Protein backbone atom coordinates (compact mmCIF):
# COMPACT_ATOMS: atom_id res chain seq x y z
CA UNK A 1 0.00 0.00 0.00
CA UNK A 2 2.88 2.40 0.94
CA UNK A 3 4.71 1.46 -2.26
CA UNK A 4 1.59 2.31 -4.30
CA UNK A 5 1.30 5.79 -2.72
CA UNK A 6 5.02 6.42 -3.23
CA UNK A 7 4.74 5.36 -6.88
CA UNK A 8 1.82 7.74 -7.45
CA UNK A 9 3.70 10.69 -5.89
CA UNK A 10 6.78 9.92 -7.97
CA UNK A 11 4.63 9.77 -11.11
CA UNK A 12 3.06 13.15 -10.31
CA UNK A 13 6.50 14.77 -9.84
CA UNK A 14 7.82 13.15 -13.03
CA UNK A 15 4.86 14.38 -15.10
CA UNK A 16 5.25 17.89 -13.69
CA UNK A 17 8.96 17.92 -14.61
CA UNK A 18 8.45 16.52 -18.08
CA UNK A 19 5.67 19.02 -18.86
CA UNK A 20 7.74 21.91 -17.43
CA UNK A 21 5.10 22.62 -14.81
CA UNK A 22 2.25 22.89 -17.32
CA UNK A 23 0.44 20.12 -15.41
CA UNK A 24 0.12 20.80 -11.71
CA UNK A 25 -0.33 18.18 -8.95
CA UNK A 26 -3.93 19.43 -8.54
CA UNK A 27 -4.65 18.35 -12.13
CA UNK A 28 -3.59 14.81 -11.25
CA UNK A 29 -5.91 14.26 -8.30
CA UNK A 30 -7.98 12.00 -10.56
CA UNK A 31 -5.44 9.23 -9.87
CA UNK A 32 -6.68 8.77 -6.33
CA UNK A 33 -10.27 9.64 -7.13
CA UNK A 34 -10.42 7.08 -9.91
CA UNK A 35 -9.25 4.26 -7.64
CA UNK A 36 -11.68 5.35 -4.93
CA UNK A 37 -14.62 5.44 -7.37
CA UNK A 38 -13.72 2.01 -8.69
CA UNK A 39 -13.57 0.60 -5.17
CA UNK A 40 -16.96 2.14 -4.29
CA UNK A 41 -18.52 0.80 -7.49
CA UNK A 42 -17.10 -2.68 -6.82
CA UNK A 43 -18.45 -2.64 -3.26
CA UNK A 44 -21.88 -1.56 -4.50
CA UNK A 45 -21.98 -4.38 -7.07
CA UNK A 46 -20.91 -6.97 -4.49
CA UNK A 47 -23.54 -5.72 -2.01
CA UNK A 48 -26.22 -5.91 -4.71
CA UNK A 49 -25.20 -9.44 -5.70
CA UNK A 50 -25.17 -10.58 -2.07
CA UNK A 51 -28.64 -9.12 -1.49
CA UNK A 52 -30.02 -10.81 -4.62
CA UNK A 53 -28.48 -14.15 -3.64
CA UNK A 54 -30.03 -14.00 -0.18
CA UNK A 55 -33.41 -13.01 -1.64
CA UNK A 56 -33.34 -15.86 -4.18
CA UNK A 57 -32.28 -18.32 -1.48
CA UNK A 58 -35.12 -17.22 0.81
CA UNK A 59 -37.68 -17.51 -1.99
CA UNK A 60 -36.41 -20.99 -2.90
CA UNK A 61 -36.72 -22.16 0.69
CA UNK A 62 -40.21 -20.76 1.26
CA UNK A 63 -41.89 -21.27 -2.12
CA UNK A 64 -42.53 -24.37 -4.18
CA UNK A 65 -43.58 -23.77 -7.81
CA UNK A 66 -46.77 -25.57 -8.87
CA UNK A 67 -45.07 -27.71 -11.53
CA UNK A 68 -42.46 -28.91 -9.06
CA UNK A 69 -45.14 -29.64 -6.46
CA UNK A 70 -47.29 -31.62 -8.91
CA UNK A 71 -44.30 -33.63 -10.15
CA UNK A 72 -43.25 -34.49 -6.59
CA UNK A 73 -46.78 -35.54 -5.61
CA UNK A 74 -47.22 -37.70 -8.72
CA UNK A 75 -43.99 -39.60 -8.14
CA UNK A 76 -45.10 -40.48 -4.61
CA UNK A 77 -48.67 -41.19 -5.74
CA UNK A 78 -47.51 -43.78 -8.26
CA UNK A 79 -45.15 -45.36 -5.71
CA UNK A 80 -47.96 -45.65 -3.17
CA UNK A 81 -50.31 -47.19 -5.73
CA UNK A 82 -47.82 -49.90 -6.71
CA UNK A 83 -47.01 -50.54 -3.09
CA UNK A 84 -50.71 -51.10 -2.47
CA UNK A 85 -51.27 -53.29 -5.55
CA UNK A 86 -48.43 -55.62 -4.67
CA UNK A 87 -46.88 -58.28 -6.88
CA UNK A 88 -50.16 -60.07 -7.56
CA UNK A 89 -52.37 -57.16 -8.66
CA UNK A 90 -49.86 -54.70 -10.18
CA UNK A 91 -48.84 -56.72 -13.29
CA UNK A 92 -52.44 -57.14 -14.38
CA UNK A 93 -53.71 -53.57 -14.00
CA UNK A 94 -50.56 -51.41 -14.25
CA UNK A 95 -50.92 -50.34 -17.90
CA UNK A 96 -54.57 -49.39 -17.58
CA UNK A 97 -53.88 -47.64 -14.27
CA UNK A 98 -51.13 -45.54 -15.89
CA UNK A 99 -53.18 -44.59 -18.94
CA UNK A 100 -56.65 -44.13 -17.44
CA UNK A 101 -56.33 -43.38 -13.71
CA UNK A 102 -53.01 -41.59 -13.11
CA UNK A 103 -53.82 -38.64 -15.43
CA UNK A 104 -57.08 -38.05 -13.54
CA UNK A 105 -55.25 -38.22 -10.22
CA UNK A 106 -52.87 -35.57 -11.56
CA UNK A 107 -55.80 -33.35 -12.62
CA UNK A 108 -57.35 -33.66 -9.16
CA UNK A 109 -54.06 -32.73 -7.47
CA UNK A 110 -53.65 -29.74 -9.81
CA UNK A 111 -57.13 -28.48 -8.97
CA UNK A 112 -56.38 -28.87 -5.27
CA UNK A 113 -53.00 -27.12 -5.54
CA UNK A 114 -54.50 -24.14 -7.37
CA UNK A 115 -56.45 -23.32 -4.21
CA UNK A 116 -53.18 -22.50 -2.46
CA UNK A 117 -50.62 -19.74 -3.07
CA UNK A 118 -47.20 -21.12 -4.01
CA UNK A 119 -45.64 -20.25 -0.64
CA UNK A 120 -48.20 -22.50 1.11
CA UNK A 121 -47.49 -25.61 -0.98
CA UNK A 122 -44.46 -26.51 1.14
CA UNK A 123 -46.86 -27.26 4.02
CA UNK A 124 -48.60 -30.00 2.01
CA UNK A 125 -47.29 -33.56 2.21
CA UNK A 126 -48.34 -37.05 1.15
CA UNK A 127 -48.89 -40.03 3.44
CA UNK A 128 -46.24 -42.73 3.23
CA UNK A 129 -48.18 -46.01 3.44
CA UNK A 130 -51.41 -47.17 1.77
CA UNK A 131 -53.96 -49.34 3.56
CA UNK A 132 -53.51 -53.11 3.27
CA UNK A 133 -56.06 -55.93 3.32
CA UNK A 134 -59.39 -54.60 2.03
CA UNK A 135 -58.71 -50.99 3.11
CA UNK A 136 -59.39 -48.33 0.48
CA UNK A 137 -56.65 -45.78 1.14
CA UNK A 138 -53.99 -45.29 -1.55
CA UNK A 139 -52.66 -42.00 -0.17
CA UNK A 140 -53.81 -38.75 1.40
CA UNK A 141 -52.41 -35.25 0.96
CA UNK A 142 -52.44 -33.37 4.25
CA UNK A 143 -51.36 -30.07 5.79
CA UNK A 144 -48.30 -30.57 7.98
CA UNK A 145 -49.05 -27.46 10.04
CA UNK A 146 -52.29 -28.84 11.47
CA UNK A 147 -52.22 -32.52 10.44
CA UNK A 148 -55.55 -32.25 8.61
CA UNK A 149 -56.22 -34.03 5.31
CA UNK A 150 -56.88 -31.96 2.20
CA UNK A 151 -57.66 -34.71 -0.32
CA UNK A 152 -57.91 -38.50 -0.03
CA UNK A 153 -57.34 -40.96 -2.88
CA UNK A 154 -58.95 -44.37 -2.48
CA UNK A 155 -59.68 -47.57 -4.39
CA UNK A 156 -62.57 -49.88 -3.56
CA UNK A 157 -63.13 -53.47 -4.68
CA UNK A 158 -66.62 -53.90 -6.10
CA UNK A 159 -68.56 -56.98 -7.16
CA UNK A 160 -71.71 -56.08 -9.11
CA UNK A 161 -74.03 -59.08 -9.74
CA UNK A 162 -72.82 -61.23 -12.64
CA UNK A 163 -70.12 -58.69 -13.60
CA UNK A 164 -67.10 -59.96 -11.74
CA UNK A 165 -64.79 -57.78 -9.64
CA UNK A 166 -63.83 -54.18 -10.36
CA UNK A 167 -61.45 -51.69 -8.79
CA UNK A 168 -63.23 -48.37 -8.27
CA UNK A 169 -60.75 -45.47 -8.02
CA UNK A 170 -62.05 -42.24 -6.50
CA UNK A 171 -61.16 -39.37 -4.17
CA UNK A 172 -62.69 -37.27 -1.40
CA UNK A 173 -61.99 -33.66 -0.41
CA UNK A 174 -62.26 -31.63 2.77
CA UNK A 175 -64.85 -29.33 1.14
CA UNK A 176 -67.71 -31.69 2.07
CA UNK A 177 -65.92 -33.39 4.96
CA UNK A 178 -64.82 -36.26 2.65
CA UNK A 179 -68.39 -37.50 2.05
CA UNK A 180 -68.83 -37.28 -1.73
CA UNK A 181 -67.12 -39.77 -4.07
CA UNK A 182 -65.33 -38.08 -6.97
CA UNK A 183 -64.89 -40.80 -9.59
CA UNK A 184 -61.52 -41.39 -11.25
CA UNK A 185 -62.40 -44.56 -13.11
CA UNK A 186 -62.80 -48.32 -12.81
CA UNK A 187 -60.55 -51.21 -13.82
CA UNK A 188 -61.88 -54.72 -14.34
CA UNK A 189 -60.16 -57.51 -12.44
CA UNK A 190 -61.76 -60.93 -12.97
CA UNK A 191 -64.72 -63.06 -11.94
CA UNK A 192 -62.61 -64.41 -9.10
CA UNK A 193 -62.04 -62.49 -5.87
CA UNK A 194 -58.91 -60.32 -6.15
CA UNK A 195 -56.03 -60.74 -3.67
CA UNK A 196 -55.87 -58.46 -0.65
CA UNK A 197 -54.03 -55.17 -0.97
CA UNK A 198 -50.42 -55.06 0.14
CA UNK A 199 -48.40 -52.24 1.70
CA UNK A 200 -44.96 -53.78 1.97
CA UNK A 201 -41.87 -52.78 0.04
CA UNK A 202 -42.30 -50.33 -2.81
CA UNK A 203 -42.76 -52.05 -6.15
CA UNK A 204 -41.75 -49.86 -9.06
CA UNK A 205 -41.92 -50.43 -12.80
* Three-state secondary-structure class, residue 182: strand
Q: Give CA–CA dist 197/88, Å, rounded.
A: 9
Is there a single domain that holds both residue 53 and residue 95? Answer: no
Within a 13 Å sphere around the CA of 150, how many CA atoms are in the beta-carbon half? Answer: 22
Confidence of residue 205 (pLDDT cuts 50, 70, 90): very low
Tens digits of per-residue pLDDT, 153-165? 999 999 999 899 9
Q: What is the pLDDT of residue 3?
A: 57
Range(s) of the domain holding residue 20: 2-62
Confidence of residue 4 (pLDDT cuts 50, 70, 90): low
Tens digits of per-residue pLDDT, 32-85? 555 555 666 666 566 555 555 555 544 444 456 889 999 999 999 999 999 999
- Return the higher-pLDDT residue of 97 and 39: 97
pTM metric for this prediction: 0.67
Backbone angles phi, psi at 149, to 5 degrees: -70, 145
Q: What is the pLDDT of residue 119?
A: 85
Q: What is the pLDDT of residue 182?
A: 97
Is there a single domain that holds both residue 56 and residue 71? Answer: no
Confidence of residue 172 (pLDDT cuts 50, 70, 90): very high
Does residue 26 lie in a domain region? yes
Q: Give yes or no for a contact between 124 and 145, defined as CB atoms under 8 angstroms apart.
A: no
Beta bridge partners of 125: 142
Sorted by sequence, the CB contacts under 8 Å of residue 186 that are 6+ apart come out as 158, 166, 167, 168, 169
Is there a single domain that holds both residue 70 and residue 163? Answer: yes
Is there a single domain that holds both residue 40 and residue 133? Answer: no
Q: Give yes or no for a contact between 16 and 23, defined as CB atoms under 8 angstroms apart.
A: yes
Does residue 199 lie in a domain region? no
Amino acid sequence: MKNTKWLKKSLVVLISVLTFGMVSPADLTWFGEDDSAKAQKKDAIEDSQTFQYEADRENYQTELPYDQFIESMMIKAEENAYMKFGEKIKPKIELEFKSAILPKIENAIQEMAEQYPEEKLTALSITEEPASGRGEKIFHIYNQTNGEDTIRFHVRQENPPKEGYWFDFHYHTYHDNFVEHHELGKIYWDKNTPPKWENGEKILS
